[in-house]
Amino acid sequence: MKEGIYWVGAIDWDLRNFHGYLTQRGSTYNAYLIIDEKITLIDTVKKHLTDDMFQRIASVIDIDKIDVIVSNHVEMDHSGAISAVLEKAPNAKVYTSIAGKKGLEAHFDTSSWDLEAVETGVEISLGKRSLEFVQTPFVHWPDNMVTYMKEEKLLFSNDSLGQHLASTERFDDEYSFDVIMQEARKYYANIVLPFGTQVQNVLKTLSTLDIEMVAPSHGIIWRKHIAEILQEYTKWSSNNTEKKAVIVYDTMWGSTEKMAKTIMQEFDKKGYKTSLKHLGFNHISDIMTEIIDAEYICVGTPTLNRGMLPTVSAFATYLIGLAPKGRKVITFGSYGWAQQGVKVLNKWLEEAKMNIVYSTDVNYIPSENDLERIANDVKEVLN
């Protein structure tokens, strides 16, 4: 990466499910090795890929020479191999955030670790170079921090600014820019979205640093397009929306689908960008990527027994968890003998304090009159 600084992470080519997030391009767990008077490892990899990381470290230096480990984040895709490193380098000192210390102690037997919690502004010397720690709580766990090396203008940003993207190319000028940005967008929408305020605080801090390279813990390293990704993070974290509606639904016998298309047409007529997402064919994590800048989220479900179709309830669970702020919600659907699907959906969304601006359901099959009524109602909402 730079003189004496190496990527020693692991490529997870086959990863397709990251706790519910469809990672169709796999991922990487980026660990970084710094050769200085103190040999330093920034983060590690998922446990099952420990040997990949060890081989990469061993191609540079004996693992037992590691003096310092920085754990920017407790989640086990980055901390999973710390114990294995400490078995080979038992005297290495581990630096982490205050919440990180508690988290590591909860995940591992740290009784023999030389573990130090550091706050924002703490700087350690590695010899010729130094590391400064900056807490970034809730981007996206309470323990997250980033680490900055001023001598190289290099930021180890951990999860922030990352992408789930398996690749042998390491840098943003070696890979399709559009694909990197698409995966960065998906990553933000599915991991970082609930924490816009915290992201904006972090961006303020980062704006005071002189940065030439951003090395996240997943995917491609930024050295050419740093301004672009920071600009996108500024936009996404602001929760500003575009004139856009995402219509998400599943259907049993086509009734809810007819309603979905009727609603979409009204948005089209008003000049909205629209996106129609059948839950049978679209993954919830890809739908969230569409929702990142949508003013309206429309959710449709038929009634199945006493509630929603399971595909819709899974989507609603995911949506409520990620809690996009400031969106307007429309709900719709059909029922046979129990008017339950939309009712249960509304209850969930209302409990999550989502702003439902219009809701409707129809018995069995929407008539022409029903569809005309729905079209008029949506038109009214958009006026």
The site for ligand FEO (CB under 6 A) is made up of 73, 75, 77-78, 140-141, 159, 217-218
278 is a catalytic site residue:
no
Inter-residue contact 44 to 92 (CB < 8 Å): no
**Active-site choice (12, 52, 159, 250):** 159
Q: Which residues pair with 145 in a beta bridge?
A: 135
**Active-site choice (3, 14, 19, 368):** 19
**Active-site choice (12, 43, 75, 172):** 75
Shortest spacing between CB 58 and ligand FEO, in angstroms:
24
218 is a catalytic site residue:
yes
Tell me how far apart the alpha carbons of residues 278 and 135 are, in angstroms, rounded to a whole number: 40
Tell me how far apart the alpha carbons of residues 42 and 304 are, in angstroms, rounded to a whole number: 50
Shortest spacing between CB 27 and ligand FEO, in angstroms:
8
Tell me how far apart the alpha carbons of residues 43 and 82 are, in angstroms, rounded to a whole number: 8
Reading phi first (left if > 0) and then psi (alpha if -120 to 50, else beta), residue 322 is in alpha
Shortest spacing between CB 82 and ligand FEO, in angstroms:
14
Shortest spacing between CB 195 and ligand FEO, in angstroms:
12
19 is a catalytic site residue:
yes
Tell me whether residue 46 or residue 258 sits nearer to ligand FEO (CB atom).
Answer: 46
**Active-site choice (21, 36, 52, 73):** 73
- Is the preceding omega at residue 140 within 30 degrees of 0, hence cis? yes
361 is a catalytic site residue:
no
Q: Which residues pair with 22 in a beta bridge?
A: 17
**Active-site choice (95, 187, 188, 249):** 187
**Active-site choice (21, 36, 140, 272):** 140
Tell me whether residue 73 or residue 277 sits nearer to ligand FEO (CB atom).
Answer: 73
Own/partner long-range contacts of 50-58 (Cβ < 8 Å, ≥24 apart): 50/80, 50/81, 50/84, 52/9, 52/10, 52/11, 53/8, 53/9, 53/10, 53/29, 53/81, 54/84, 54/88, 56/6, 56/7, 56/8, 56/9, 56/10, 57/8, 57/33
Shortest spacing between CB 299 and ligand FEO, in angstroms:
27
Shortest spacing between CB 93 and ligand FEO, in angstroms:
22
Tell me whether residue 141 or residue 358 sits nearer to ligand FEO (CB atom).
Answer: 141
Inter-residue contact 153 to 213 (CB < 8 Å): yes
Inter-residue contact 183 to 167 (CB < 8 Å): no
73 is a catalytic site residue:
yes
Q: What SS3 state is found at 254?
A: coil
Alpha-carbon radius of gyration of the chain: 24
Tell me whether residue 29 or residue 267 sits nearer to ligand FEO (CB atom).
Answer: 29
Tell me whether residue 40 or residue 136 sits nearer to ligand FEO (CB atom).
Answer: 136
Inter-residue contact 36 to 5 (CB < 8 Å): no
Tell me whether residue 218 or residue 225 sits nearer to ligand FEO (CB atom).
Answer: 218
**Active-site choice (77, 250, 290, 293):** 77
Residue of this chain nearest to ligand FEO (CB atom): 75
109 is a catalytic site residue:
no
Count of C-beta atoms within a 10 Å radius of residue 287 = 21
Tell me whether residue 78 or residue 185 sits nearer to ligand FEO (CB atom).
Answer: 78
Shortest spacing between CB 158 and ligand FEO, in angstroms:
7
Tell me how far apart the alpha carbons of residues 359 and 339 are, in angstroms, rounded to a whole number: 13
Residues annotated catalytic, as ranges? 19, 73, 75, 77, 140, 159, 187, 218
